Amino acid sequence: MSPKGGDLRAFAANVPQLHVVPPRALAISAAALVVSVAGALLFPQGFAEYGFLAWLLPMIPAFLLCYYRGWTRLMTMLAAAMTLLALGYVVAALLGTTLPEWPSIAFVIAAYIGIALGAGWFREVRAAEGHRAAAERELHQTSLHLRKSHTDLQLAQWKLIEAERLEAVGKLAAGVAHEVKNPLMTLLTGVHYLKQHVPTTDEGVKTLLEDMHDAVKRADAVIMGLLDFSQPRQLALAPADLNAVIHRSAGMVKHEVTQARVALDLTLGPDLPRLDLDVFKLQQVLVNVLTNAAHATPPGGRITVRTYCRDSVTILEVDDTGSGIPEDALGKLFDPFFTTKPTGKGTGLGLAVARQIVEMHGASIDIGNRPEGGARVTIAFTALKERA
């Protein structure tokens, strides 16, 4: 019976029946055939005399009919009947006797009664097996649900802890920001005052003032990064063209790229679906990723931004031709305050913030080394609602 349209599920439910029982019945009937054919060959006269084939042959098409219709119980009964019938004749032939017509008929009737009883027993066994299989399936389903609930619970717990942690860090950051930014303001104003009003020809003093200025800016960058990392975020999602966001972000890092003397190639897929994006937040991510790539790529190198769609997943890749990321750093890249840049060149918060933003889009970000050298950042927009 071939499946049609929405009947596919019902058909699939029948498949185990067709495949669990028939092999047994087939084995029984095959045995019956072997025995009867052997009997017919060994004792052709006895078989011919009592019309063995007249009993056996109609059962074969009946058996096949049952098999293809999935009437497995009837099929089992027929198979058993064929076996008993054949065995009865073989035994009679072996004993060198011939069964008279009426005992033969009585034998067949007895055989069918036995078969009916056997089939009843078999049905019970099958029913018990069916119940057990159903119970096992239910248990399996329950186990799956339980496992999923456990995972969901763990995820919710993790999110709660993360939210509480971020709230605590946020409060701390706001407090630290206030307490640190005020002295930074004093230092910055003081350094500017000294540069303007205390003229000096001493190169050491000039360098010292520049270093103090840079130190203030660096401390300010760390504080701002911390505020950025810890502040609760809400995305303003709207359907947007990912490629347009990339173009804008590329424009924003033009200075960094030019300064690093690297080429920036955009190989953007023409037929990407529009995605629900917070354009400004995603720009922040891309600017961070592209700036990192520019810092990691030696002069003369190349940064390639690529977009394409595969299996309904929109993928954005940023490749550089730098030296790649040390193996021991790969697992820590998204940790707050972790940086591979020289001291003072990075706060270590850029990628932590980037991951937060990407994950809030329901997307994922991954960083790895390319076999041909250099690093690759992959952002996969898997969970985004796509719009045509």
Partner 1 sequence: MPQKKRILLVDDEATITRTLKLYLEGTGAYEVRAENRGSAALEAARAFKPDLILLDVAMPDMDGGDVAAQIRGDEALKDTPIVFLTALVKKQEVVATGGDIGGYPYIAKPLEPEKIIEVIERHTS
Contact positions vs partner 1 (CB under 8 A): 174, 177-178, 181-190, 192-193, 196-197, 216, 220, 224, 227-228
Least CB distance to partner 1 at residue 328 (A): 32
* Structure-block tokens of residue 204: 């050491």
Inter-axis angle of helices 101-197 and 203-230, to 10 degrees?
150
Least CB distance to partner 1 at residue 258 (A): 23
List Cα–Cα distances, 36 to 46, 57, 64, 111, in angstroms.
12, 11, 18, 16
Q: Would the CA dihedral through 282, 272, 302, 362 be positive or negative?
A: positive
Looking at beta carbons only, is 287 or 316 nearer to partner 1?
Answer: 287
Looking at beta carbons only, is 227 or 309 nearer to partner 1?
Answer: 227
Give me Rg for the CA atoms of the chain: 40
Looking at beta carbons only, is 35 or 174 nearer to partner 1?
Answer: 174
Looking at beta carbons only, is 224 or 380 nearer to partner 1?
Answer: 224
Least CB distance to partner 1 at residue 179 (A): 8
Looking at beta carbons only, is 321 or 347 nearer to partner 1?
Answer: 347
The residues, ordered by sequence, that sit 6+ positions from 71 with a Cβ below 8 Å of its Cβ are 65
Looking at beta carbons only, is 13 or 236 nearer to partner 1?
Answer: 236
Least CB distance to partner 1 at residue 358 (A): 18
Least CB distance to partner 1 at residue 194 (A): 10
Looking at beta carbons only, is 220 or 276 nearer to partner 1?
Answer: 220
Q: Calculate ∠ Cα 374-375-378, nearest 5°.
A: 145
Beta bridge partners of 317: 306, 378
Least CB distance to partner 1 at residue 248 (A): 15
Q: Do 115 and 84 contact (CB within 8 A), yes or no?
A: yes
Which burial class, exposed, middle or buried, applies to 336 when counting CB atoms under 10 A from its CB (0-12, 13-18, 19+)? middle
* Structure-block tokens of residue 86: 């054949």
Residue whose token pair is 């049952």: 66
Least CB distance to partner 1 at residue 330 (A): 29
Taking residue 41's Cβ as centre, other Cβ atoms within 10 Å add up to 9
